[in-house]
Structure 1
Amino acid sequence: MVHFVGAGPGAPDLITLRGAELLRAADCIIYAGSLVNPALLALARDGCAVYNSAEMTLEQVLAVMQEQERLSHETVRLHTGDASLYGAIREQMDQLDRLGIAYDDVPGVSSFCGAAAAACAEYTLPGISQTVIITRMAGRTPVPEREALSKLAAHGASMVIFLSAGMLPAVQEALLQGAYTKATPAALVYKATWPEEKVVRCTLGTLAQAGADHQITKTALILVGDFLAPAGYDRSKLYDPGFTTEFRKGSEG
């Protein structure tokens, strides 16, 4: 059987308990290269076969999975963060279906959660934003035209941009075509939760320069939105003494 496991955003203790147990029991681990903290491989038992998928094609990964299945072994496919975001798992699952190989999926902590934690930020602040857009800039991998960054920027929502730190001038230009302004708060979060984590706060108008100044060109998320400097947000109704809930009666006035 193949177990797809989200490794978490970087810190080895941010993998789930289930994911860690599967790593300890695995006969084979196929991990996503430099994106997964190699410290997690210390959980592997003696004799476990370990493959770095950064050096492999999809066909080579599937060949390893097939061989392990032939041996009745347990394989962990270890992806960064949560594999449902930019994890290329659908194409693997479809091929495993074709081959008749059983699999399951263990969620992980996404780097967009790790980035918010690093910035001590809340994406969904009442009165500021109740929507989070997770996207990427078109590059060698295209995006649908309807999802162009300039079009998504029209919403002015909290935004997390993956896989785009090497294109900061283009990101900045595209975002400024929407509802954001040069003064909109922004941040670059480099390797969130790793020992070398760095949070660079700036404005959208200085985003590209901030990246150049700090030599950030990869392995970073771009956060954009007023949630990063939340002056004037509304208090949560859930904990407002005047708000009645299923469990507590609110006070008058």
Structure 2
Amino acid sequence: MFRFTVLMLCLVTTGLVRADEVQVAVAANFAAPMKDIVARFEQQTGHKVRSTVGATGKFYAQIHNGAPFEILLAADDDTPARLEKEGAGVAGSRFTYAIGKLVLWSARSGVVDEKGAVLNQPGFAHLSIANPKLAPYGAAAVEAMKKLNVYGVIEAKLVVGESIAQAHQFVASGAAPLGFVAMSQVFEGGKLKSGSAWVVPDTLYSPIRQDAIALDKGRGKPAVDAFLNYLKSDAAKVIIRSYGYAL
């Protein structure tokens, strides 16, 4: 009996020692699926995840300024590649975890039509986008408007958020009647949650390949490897697809 008790205590103690916390910088567009993924990951592994949501461009600067992030889930593939090249990211750990989709969205029904023709109408005062210098979805929005030959007219109406989360908030609050957001913010399970939307054809903007990378502060940490491996799992992919991302 004594041996059994000691063995159980050892197993419990070992489990507690192995459980760890992971610091993850998460692109704002991926905030919703991240919550679902983290909940399942923590339940299955015992590790804890501390997520910080924001703009990829800002994360890049923060990482070089010593931020404690151990993983970056970016909204593009360029930033992780730069971090890897500069030695701030772990070589060989980078991979594409999702391909984002751009949506023109209004919080009100009947505003955005199925072909995005509203962009050619003069009736709206403002259009929200994420900062194209910091957020890949903002850059994709500008690229799409230019291909549609409407950017010159709409540029003066733009309300620019520092991230895709803020761009979405401008529309949700009514500060802007419509805006370009990530599909994951307004769709769930393949259905629009509210308002009206046009899924922008991917021929109008460069693919939004979203890469993950282990950062130097997480180098060799088992919990970091465990989270990145989980992000590649079939269970995580089901969640990612449910929010409208391609893989």
TM-score band, normalised by the shorter chain? 0.3 to 0.5
Larger fraction in helix: 2
TM-score by structure 1 length? 0.32
Larger RCO (CA under 8 A, 6+ residues apart)? 2
